[in-house]
Structures are given as structure tokens and as C-alpha cells.
Amino acid sequence: MLDLVITSVLTFIVTLLVILVRNRRALLTYHVRHDRIGVSTYDNIHGEVLVTVGDSPVQNLYMSNVWLVNRSMRDVENLEVKVWTGNEQMQLMTEKTHIEGTVEFLKHTAEYEDMKKSLQNSIEEIERARAAGDDVTAAQIHQTQAANWEMWSNQRWYEVPVLARGQTIRFTYMTNILSDVDPVIFISCQKAGIRVKYKQPYQPIWHLWGVPLVEASFTGTVIGILVWLVVINSISILWLAALLCLFVGLLAGIPGAAGVRLYRWLQNRLVG
């Protein structure tokens, strides 16, 4: 009996170590959805159909939504998230960001803000040059800012102070496709301990006592195996052993969620 207890304790310790190692690298997943709003085309009966933004016609107008989800068991801090299009024919025209369930929105990185200011200043300089009739200077300024124009049209860089476990960031863009290619948006985050992965389809994360059901089920399965080992080696009455194992199996999520919360508590107290 003593050997069984020691084995169970060692198995539980190994399980905690596996979970700790598994969660040293946080997993962020994202999903993208594109909804076509309008298209500029020519109809034989009605003639030319134009979709315009302001006074400028656009070819294929989409509303693109991106969800970035923290699926790890820990909070992540001080992230720099880059959102970028998959081809040069796609333009990000407007943007709206927020962390779902909160009123928080994201700010651009300092580097990106500097690029925006430089681009805005160049627009004013081009307008002044054209007003003065100096088209050569206007063309030179536009050529100098070509890289910033491309970056502004195809990329966004954001600061994320904190993304708690289970939280979701939603990015919304109005996008213009200059050809008939499909719209594509990617997300990247270059930081040690963070892995970003595309996951299709996006599904809301359900929780039990604040623990994602996936984590609760995994931990509950491990706990169920430990209980099964104890039961088959300590209870000789077959029907009672089967009833206990059945009961633990049916309610695996509850001890699993409790185990995860205990692990988080120990981690906060011992590791920080």
C-alpha cells in the first residue's frame, strides 16, 4: 500500500512538472473572417457600378475581422503584435481594435507612430509643394516616403500591455483588394516564450470555474487515472470500485478544474 501511495505522489508530481514545462511557452491562436461589402464592376444593363470610399473608387471592398486568443494557462505581457496582409494588392483602409469583454483598445507601437507622423508631415509638404506649383519637389517627397506608404497600406503594429489567459483581441479592418485575389491577413509576435498559430475555425472558449474546458478535461483525465490506480489496488469490492471509477469519470471536469486552480495557486505562491 505504501508503494502505491509513493507511486501516486510521484505520478502527480511528474504531471505537474509536465504541465509547467508545457506552459512555459504561451500559445496564441488567431482566426480571420472576410465579408465582402461591395465590388466595382460593369453591368451590361445598369452600366458601371462603383464602390467609393470618400471620393476614391475601390475595386473589392471587404470587412475583415481578426481574433487573437490567449489559449495558454498564463497571462502574457508586453507584446508587440504585427498585423499584415498576405499580398501587395490588399490595403488596410480603416482599423478598430479592442480586447473583448473590456473597454480597452490597442495603441500603435512607438516605431509605428513615428512612421505615421513622418507620413502625415510628408502629405502636408506635398500639398504645399503642389500649391506652389513645384511638382518636382512633390514627386521627390512622395518617392522618399514610398516605403512608409506601403507599410501604412499593408501593416499595423500594436502594443499589448497584458493579454490574460482566455482573453481575445479583435481587430477590425475595412480592406480594399486591387485585384481578384482572395484577401489574406496574418499575425505575428516575435517574443521569447510566445507562439502564434493560425487556428480554423475560431470557437469561443468555455470555462469551468475560470478554467478553459480543454485544460480542465486534460487535468481531470490525469486525476481520473490516479484515482483508478488507487481504487483497483485498495478496494476489493468490484461493484464499489466500478462505481467510484464511473463517478470520477463522469465528473472529470470538476476535479480537473480544481486541480488547475490549485496548480495556479501554487505557481503564484512558489514561482510568482
- pLDDT of 205 reads 63
Q: Is residue 14 part of a domain?
A: no
Residues 260 and 169 in one domain: no
How much is the average pLDDT of 186-209? 78
Residues 253 and 143 in one domain: no
- Compute the C-alpha angle 99/210/21, nearest 5°: 90
Residues 67 and 193 in one domain: yes
- Indicate the range of 81-85, 125-129, 199-203 predicted with least confidence: 199-203
DSSP conformation letters of 10-45: HHHHHHHHHHHHHTSSEEEEEEEEEEEEEE-EEETT
Residues 180 and 215 in one domain: no
Alpha-carbon gap, residue 218 to 260, rounded angstroms:
10
pLDDT at 23 over 80: no
DSSP conformation letters of 93-152: EEEEEEETTSS---EE-HHHHHHHHHHHHHHHHHHHHHHTT-HHHHHHHHHHTHHHHHHH
Residues 177 and 249 in one domain: no
What is the number of alpha carbons within 13 Å of residue 149 lying toward its C-beta? 8
Alpha-carbon gap, residue 231 to 127, rounded angstroms:
81
CB 238 within 8 A of CB 246: no
Residue 82 pLDDT grade (very low, low, confident, very high; cuts 50, 70, 90): very high
Residues 151 and 265 in one domain: no
Q: Which of 159, 178, 205 is the last residue of a domain?
A: 205
pTM here?
Answer: 0.64
- pLDDT of 68 reads 94
Residues 140 and 251 in one domain: no
Per-residue pLDDT reduced to its tens digit, 50-60? 777 767 777 78
Alpha-carbon gap, residue 138 to 119, rounded angstroms:
13
Q: Is residue 39 part of a domain?
A: yes
Residues 146 and 254 in one domain: no
Alpha-carbon gap, residue 17 to 149, rounded angstroms:
49
Q: What are the beta bridge partners of residue 95? A: 173
pLDDT at 202 over 80: no
Average pLDDT, the chain: 80
Residues 80 and 114 in one domain: yes
pLDDT at 96 over 90: yes
Alpha-carbon gap, residue 164 to 8, rounded angstroms:
33
Alpha-carbon gap, residue 40 to 49, rounded angstroms:
5
Residues 160 and 187 in one domain: yes
Number of domains within the chain: 2
Q: Is residue 75 part of a domain?
A: yes
- pLDDT of 17 reads 58
Say how many C-beta atoms besides its own lie within 10 A of residue 50's C-beta: 13
Alpha-carbon gap, residue 12 to 190, rounded angstroms:
34
- pLDDT of 173 reads 94
Residue 49 pLDDT grade (very low, low, confident, very high; cuts 50, 70, 90): confident
CATH of the domain at 186: 2.60.40
Residues 199 and 218 in one domain: no
Q: Domain residues for 252?
A: 209-270
pLDDT above 90 covers what percent of the chain?
19
Q: Is residue 254 part of a domain?
A: yes
- Sign of dihedral through CA atoms 160, 165, 171, 177? positive
Alpha-carbon gap, residue 31 to 34, rounded angstroms:
10
Residues 76 and 118 in one domain: yes
Per-residue pLDDT reduced to its tens digit, 126-142? 888 888 888 878 788 77
Q: Which of 186, 205, 224 is the last residue of a domain?
A: 205
